[in-house]
Each structure stands twice: as structure tokens, then as C-alpha cells.
Amino acid sequence: EAGVAQSPRYKIIEKRQSVAFWCNPISGHATLYWYQQILGQGPKLLIQFQNNGVVDDSQLPKDRFSAERLKGVDSTLKIQPAKLEDSAVYLCASSSTAKSTYNEQFFGPGTRLTVL
Amino acid sequence: AQSVTQPDIHITVSEGASLELRCNYSYGATPYLFWYVQSPGQGLQLLLKYFSGDTLVQGIKGFEAEFKRSQSSFNLRKPSVHWSDAAEYFCAAAGTASKLTFGTGTRLQVTL
């Protein structure tokens, strides 16, 4: 079974530029998550999708961050314009919606963003 | 507010020595508890999880963790550490909404 795919793996941009990250979840997983992991901190949830609908985006800085999951499969996270404090690893995860106590999240390798 | 605390930022152990990584949580009710490992340039890999039942849970790579309700703790242990265990370890918790809250992580260094 293929895992969660993310691209690019690394990105360096100047502040005020825009950037986009792509995530392809595990086949059949209806739930998709984007996390931000700043150096020295644990991952923080930015947004959660269930199919193509947003479940939780309470910690997404909506003035500069946007995300979409068209057709309920792939997802794109965009930052426009980027700030220095956006330098972080952006992790994508997915989980199934099978009826169980808890649906395990499977993580991709992440995209490391450096904003200069 | 819900939180997960990992008091040790960095731990160094010798190969073959035992390991214990600490984790404390603050939740309204007993959450689901997890330990993840992250190697450089890699995503997070689930080591083990606790939902209910036996308070000592076994995971992959020889790791185990013990849930102690009275101490709100979920410490990770390994009897004998291997050099390949060097990585960042994250404790996490989730309520019924399945939203994960992570600790700040403990970086494990293994000396030969």
C-alpha cells in the first residue's frame, strides 16, 4: 500500500512570495490533515478535511493560508504572502473513516519550507 | 485547555542502556494516547497507542509504554536502546473528535 505522498520535499522562497504544497493521501482515505511543525515544536493542526469539506480550520491563518481538496482526493496548501515565521515543515496526513474507536493518521514525509 | 507535556527536550543514552521518555497530559477525560517517532527528513511513524484496557502497551521496534491515570502520564520505555533509535519522539493525545495534540518532542541521542 502506497503511503501519503507530498511534494515538493524542500522549498526556499523570499518573504512576501507565494508557495504551494501538494498532498496525495492513501487511496480510499476520506480524511486529510495538514499540520505545521515549527523547529523545536510538535506538529500543529492547520486544517482537516472530510472528503472535500472542511471539518476544522480553527488554527489556519486565513489571511495568508488557504487549502483545498477538490474531488476529495488530492489537496493543496497555499501561503500567500509568506512571512519569515512560516518557515516550518508542513506535514500531510490521512485516515480512513471506518467505524472504529479511532482512525489512525498516517503521515507523509513533509515539505520543509524556508522563508528568507 | 488540552495539552501534552514532554519535559525532556534532549536525552542522551548509551547503546544497550535502557530508555524512558516522559509524557504528561492534561485533558478533561482520559484521551487516546500515542507515541510517534520522527527520523530526520521523515514523517511521523506510530510506535504505539493506548485506548483502554491493559495499561502496559507494546509497540513496534521493542518499545512499550505505561499509562498511569493517577499521574496523567504515558511514559515510553525500551529495555535496550540501539543506535538506530536516535530520532525525535513525540507524545500525542486525542479526544473523541480524533484531533491530535502533540507534545514538543524529545530528541534522543545514542552514543556508541
Show the CA angle centred on residue A107, arms to residues B99 and B86, nearest 5°: 110
Nearest residue, CB atoms, A103 vs list B45, B98, B103 = B98
What span, in angstroms and rounded, lies between the C-alpha atoms of B36 and B44?
A: 6
- Identify which of B18, B16, B31, B19 has the alpha carbon closest to the alpha carbon of residue B107: B19
The model's pLDDT over B40-83, given as tens digits with 9 standing for 90+, comes to 878 899 999 998 889 999 999 999 999 999 999 999 999 999 99
What span, in angstroms and rounded, lies between the C-alpha atoms of B8 and B70?
A: 21
Q: Choose the weakest-confidence range: A58-72, B16-30, B86-100.
A: B86-100
Residues 6+ positions from B15 with CB-CB distance below 8 Å? B81, B82, B83, B110, B111, B112
Q: Using only C-alpha atoms, what is the Rg of chain B?
A: 13
Chain A residue nearest residue B40, CA to CA: A109
Verify whether the Cβ–Cβ distance B32 to A101 is below 8 Å. yes
Verify whether the Cβ–Cβ distance B4 to A42 is below 8 Å. yes
Count of CB atoms situated within 10 Å of the CB of A9? 12
The model's pLDDT over A21-35, given as tens digits with 9 standing for 90+, comes to 999 999 999 999 999
Task: Taking residues B14-33, report their average pLDDT.
Answer: 93
What span, in angstroms and rounded, lies between the C-alpha atoms of A86 and A104?
A: 27
Q: pLDDT at position B59, please?
A: 96
